[in-house]
Amino acid sequence: MAIRRALSGRIMDPTPVVGARYMSSWWRSVEPALKDPILGVTEAFLADPNPDKINVGVGAYRDDNGKPVVLECVREAERRIAGNSNMEYLPMGGSVNMVEETLKLAYGENSELIKDRRIAAVQALSGTGACRLLADFQKRFCPESQIYIPVPTWSNHHNIWRDAQVPQKTYHYYHPESRGLDFAAMIDDIKNAPNGSFFLLHACAHNPTGVDPTEEQWREISHHIKVKGHFAFFDMAYQGFASGDPERDAKSIRIFLEDGHHIGIAQSYAKNMGLYGQRVGCLSVLCEDEKQAVAVKSQLQQLARPMYSNPPVHGALIVSTILGDPDLKKLWLKEVKVMADRIIGMRTALRGNLEKLGSPLSWQHITNQIGMFCYSGMTPEQVDRLTNEFHIYMTRNGRISMAGVTTGNVEYLANAIHQVTKSA
């Protein structure tokens, strides 16, 4: 009946619609996707009207007033850039200037490896984009290999290698009992992995735990990785942000370079230059010689071309303007230290408050851990209570973004944590 009525309407129409209106959607069986565990937290936070709410979810730096920060060096760089350049396509490998300066940060200002042109490097879409390019590259050129990912890690690491269709395994990393590094188990996993496996290492300020190996431990990790001929891939998203000193934060990488590894590195300027939304980063792969570096770079470009053709220019210009000007670079280093110091200060304050409240638990891991995140050790149920009763937003693995802690909210936060853990 309905169809006949509808059809008779069609007959009046001089250009009858063919087919379209009576087809159901192609996407009727598409399921609603689960929210991203990290980014979904901020969405929920924004929707909460409560005035005491705190966002210690996503790892984006906030000042002591809880406000996002645009660094002075960045503002100045933008003033210089605006109106001065064209907006032509960058090459597929991105801004050569930006990449050169970025390599110096990771490999060392006077690195022989840079001089010898042994590093294949391309501008990438922040850390995510760098990891994804490496994962796609691994799939294409080492299709038999697996990636070993620490437990726990940034949740998106799993998504990246999965979408690149690289088989993944995990290695022991975090030791819940000590809230520190499970070093012996980690070394075992390195030894037991098939030769030539890829190992994802957090160069500093491990996300989400904040637990980093000591220098001695890094040397041993390097040794065992070398023995097995594994490929060491460093995700360095927090250089400068961990200790306040970029050179110090790159120590793990320098140890591996001294040991002769041919490493890969993903670098991001999201946090340490506050360029989050600009998506600026770099993927580098150390090769045997210049010829190989040229070949590898060309292949990385082949992976970028069908993904986005060439990377965005604006953020890259900001970076190269800052790093290419000695005064601006000095200003940047100062501003990075301020951010790192504020976070270290908040760690001390949070721990101090919890101890003052008479918490029965040990909270020394808050100050032992480093970088933006604190792995509190709270359970998902405790986190849910924090959210539901106290309007505190964080990921359910108990990870607290210390950047979201301020002198204004640290007492409230400490009290809330104490309330949900005191009977643990």
Partner 1 sequence: MDSVFAAIVQAPEDPILGVTVAYNKDQSPVKLNLGVGAYRTEEGKPLVLNVVRKAEQLLVNDQSRVKEYLPILGLAEFNKLSAKLILGDDSPAIQENRVATAQCLSGTGSLRVGAEFLAKHHNERTIYIPQPSWGNHLKVFTMAGLSVKTYGYYDPTTRGLNFQGLLEDLGAAPAGAIVLLHACAHNPTGVDPTVEEWEQIRQLIRSKGLLPFFDSAYQGFASGSLDADAQPVRMFVADGGECFMAQSYAKNMGLYGERVGALSIVCKAADVASRVESQLKLVIRPMYSNPPLHGASIASTILKNSDMYNEWKVELKAMADRIISMRKQLFDALTAKGTPGDWSHIIKQIGMFTFTGLNSDQVAFMTKEYHIYMTSDGRISMAGLSSSTVPHLADAIHAAVTRSS
Interaction residues for partner 1, span 164-193 (CB under 8 A)? 164
Q: Does 312 bind partner 1 (CB under 8 A)?
A: yes
Task: Count Cβ atoms within 10 A of the Cβ of residue 301 and give its class: 0-12 exposed, 13-18 middle, 19 or more buried.
Answer: middle
Closest Cα partner for 207 from 146, 286, 268, 248? Answer: 268
Give pairs for 388-392: CB < 8 Å, separation 24+: 389/416, 389/419, 389/420, 390/52, 390/416, 390/419, 390/420, 391/48, 391/50, 391/52, 391/53, 391/54, 392/53, 392/54, 392/56, 392/416
Question: To which H or E segment does residue 347 belong?
Answer: helix 326-356
Locate 19 and state its tokens: 């087919």
User: Residue 309: is it exposed, middle or buried by C-beta count within 10 angstroms (0-12/13-18/19+)?
Assistant: exposed
Q: If binding is defined by CB under 8 A, does position 28 make contact with partner 1?
A: yes
Answer for which of 167, 176, 260, 408 binds partner 1 (CB under 8 A) is 260
Which range of residues in 247-255, 288-296, 334-342, 356-364 is near partner 1 by CB under 8 A? 288-296
Of 253, 285, 350, 420, which lies in the binding site for partner 1, with binding defined by CB under 8 A?
A: 285
319-378 positions binding partner 1, by CB under 8 A: none
Q: Which of residues 111-130 bind partner 1 (CB under 8 A)?
A: 125-126, 128-129
For position 12 contacting partner 1 by CB under 8 A, the verdict is no
Instruction: Using the rule CB under 8 A, give the single segment among 170-178, 199-207, 212-220, 267-275 that binds partner 1.
Output: 267-275
In a 3-state reduction of DSSP, which class is residue 245?
coil
Residue nearer to partner 1 on the CB measure, 136 or 182: 136
Figure out which of the listed residues 184, 294, 389, 422 binds partner 1, where binding follows CB under 8 A. Answer: 294
**Residue 147 interacting with partner 1 (CB under 8 A):** no
Distances (CA, A) of 371 to 37, 206, 316: 20, 7, 24
**Minimum CB–partner distance for residue 69 and partner 1 (Å):** 8
Contact segment (CB under 8 A) with partner 1 among 268-276, 353-361, 369-377, 380-388 equals 268-276
Task: Output 266 or 417, the one with its CB closest to partner 1.
Answer: 266
Mask: binding to partner 1, 87-106, rule CB under 8 A, as x and -? xxxxxx--------------
Smallest separation, CB 416 to partner 1 (Å): 25
Catalytic positions: 154, 235, 271
Candidates 78, 220, 355, 411; binder of partner 1 (CB under 8 A) is: 78
Q: How many helices (H) and strands (E) does the chain have?
A: 17, 13
Nearest to 246 by CA among 219, 263, 267, 217: 267
Prior bond of 208 cis (ω within 30°): yes
CB 399 within 8 A of CB 374: yes
In the set 113, 142, 255, 357, which binds partner 1 (CB under 8 A)?
Answer: 142
Q: Is 41 in the site for partner 1 (CB under 8 A)?
A: no
Among 8, 65, 86, 423, contact with partner 1 (rule: CB under 8 A):
86
Mark the segment that binds partner 1 (CB under 8 A) among 166-174, 179-187, 254-262, 384-392: 254-262
Query: Minimum distance between the CB of residue 106 and partner 1, rounded to whole angstroms?
Result: 18
In angstroms, give the least distance from the CB of 126 to partner 1. 7
Q: Is 274 in the site for partner 1 (CB under 8 A)?
A: yes
Closest CA to 95 of 264, 262, 236, 281: 281
- Which residue from 181, 211, 282, 287 is in contact with partner 1, where contact means CB under 8 A? 287
For partner 1, the binding residue among 11, 12, 33, 47 (CB under 8 A) is 33
Whether the CB-CB separation of 97 and 309 falls below 8 Å is answered with no
Q: How far is CA 116 from CA 71, 93, 123, 263, 375, in A?
A: 34, 19, 19, 16, 41
Q: Six-digit token pair at 148?
A: 């070993």
* Cβ closest to partner 1, residue 274 vs residue 377: 274
Residues 182-241 that bind partner 1 (CB under 8 A): 196, 226, 229, 231
Note the Cα 206 to chain centre separation in Å.
Answer: 10
